[in-house]
C-alpha cells in the first residue's frame, strides 16, 4: 500500500500501525514556536475498538490500510456468527457477533448493511440508521396514563429490548434509531 505523509493525515484516513489497521478519528496540526510542525492524532483500532493517541512530525509517514467499503445483506445467524452476502460478488462472509456491536440486535434477514473489508476479510458492518420492527411483547398501558410521558420496556421481533412510550402496544410497528437504540415513532403503514 502507498505511504501517507503526515501532511495528508485527515479524519477518516485508514492506516497501518505495527501491522494493525486503524481509523484516524482526529488530526490536529500544531506549530510550536521552534522546531518542526507536529500532527497530534487519535486513532481507533478497526478490530478491537481501542484508541491510540500518537504524535507525528511533519516528515513522518504511515502505510495506508487496504480497506474497502461495500454494501451487502444480512443473510442469517450461524451460532455466534452473523453471515453477510456482498451485493457485488455474492460471496458470503461470516463476522463474529461481538464484532458487530450493538447494531446486531436490530438486524433482520435481508436487511442491507454497509460492509468494511481489510485484506478481503470482513471486519465491520454499519447497520441502516433506522429500522422498523414489530413489538412482540410489552406490558399493557395503565388506564389514564396513555397521554403522559411515561415509558416502559418493549421487546421487538429481533429480541432487543427498547424503552417506548406507554401508549405503544404489542403488535405495533415502531421505528428505532440503530445508532442509539432509541424509539423514534410509530411506523406509518
Q: What is the pLDDT of residue 140?
A: 85
The H or E element containing residue 97 is: helix 97-100
Tell me how crowded residue 30 is: count the other CB atoms within 10 A of its CB.
9
pLDDT band at residue 143 under the 50/70/90 scheme: low
pLDDT band at residue 7 under the 50/70/90 scheme: confident
Q: Do domains 67-126 and 130-186 have the same CATH topology?
A: yes
Segments making up each domain of the chain, as ranges:
3-64, 67-126, 130-186
Q: How far is CA 171 from CA 135, 145, 167, in A?
A: 5, 19, 12
- Fold for domain 67-126? OB fold (Dihydrolipoamide Acetyltransferase, E2P) (2.40.50)
The H or E element containing residue 125 is: strand 121-126
Residues 6 or more apart whose CB falls under 8 angstroms from that of 155 comprise 135, 136, 137, 138, 161, 162
Average pLDDT rounded to a whole number, residues 154-169: 90
Residue 92 has pLDDT above 90, yes or no: yes
- Fold for domain 130-186? OB fold (Dihydrolipoamide Acetyltransferase, E2P) (2.40.50)
pLDDT band at residue 87 under the 50/70/90 scheme: very high
pLDDT band at residue 145 under the 50/70/90 scheme: low
Average pLDDT rounded to a whole number, residues 16-23: 90
pLDDT band at residue 1 under the 50/70/90 scheme: low
The values of phi and psi at residue 173, to 5°, are -100, 135
Instruction: Return the C-alpha cell found at 50.
Output: 481501542
Residue 124 has pLDDT above 90, yes or no: no
- Fold for domain 3-64? SH3 type barrels. (2.30.30)
Question: CB–CB of 40/27 below 8 Å?
Answer: yes
**Considering only CA atoms, which of 43, 181, 40, 1 is closest in space to residue 106?**
181
Average pLDDT rounded to a whole number, residues 55-76: 90
Q: How far apart are the first and last CA of the chain?
A: 49
pLDDT band at residue 136 under the 50/70/90 scheme: very high
Amino acid at each position: 500500500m502507498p505511504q501517507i505523509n503526515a501532511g495528508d493525515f485527515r479524519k477518516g484516513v485508514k492506516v497501518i500501525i505495527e501491522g494493525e489497521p486503524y481509523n484516524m478519528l482526529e488530526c490536529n496540526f500544531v506549530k510550536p514556536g521552534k522546531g518542526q510542525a507536529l500532527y497530534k492524532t487519535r486513532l481507533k483500532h478497526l478490530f478491537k475498538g481501542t484508541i491510540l493517541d500518537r504524535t507525528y512530525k511533519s516528515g513522518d509517514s504511515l502505510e495506508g490500510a487496504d480497506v474497502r467499503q461495500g454494501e451487502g445483506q444480512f443473510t442469517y445467524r450461524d451460532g455466534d456468527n452473523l453471515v453477510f452476502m456482498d451485493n457485488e460478488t455474492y460471496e458470503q462472509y461470516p463476522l463474529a457477533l461481538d464484532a458487530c456491536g450493538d447494531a446486531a440486535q436490530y438486524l433482520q434477514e435481508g436487511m442491507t448493511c454497509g460492509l468494511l473489508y481489510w485484506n478481503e476479510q470482513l471486519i465491520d458492518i454499519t447497520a441502516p440508521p433506522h429500522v422498523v420492527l414489530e413489538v412482540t411483547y410489552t406490558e399493557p398501558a395503565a388506564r389514564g396514563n396513555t397521554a403522559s410521558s411515561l415509558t416502559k420496556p418493549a421487546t421487538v421481533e429481533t429480541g432487543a429490548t427498547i424503552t417506548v412510550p406507554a401508549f405503544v402496544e404489542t403488535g405495533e410497528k415502531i421505528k428505532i434509531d440503530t445508532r442509539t437504540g432509541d424509539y423514534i415513532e410509530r411506523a406509518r403503514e
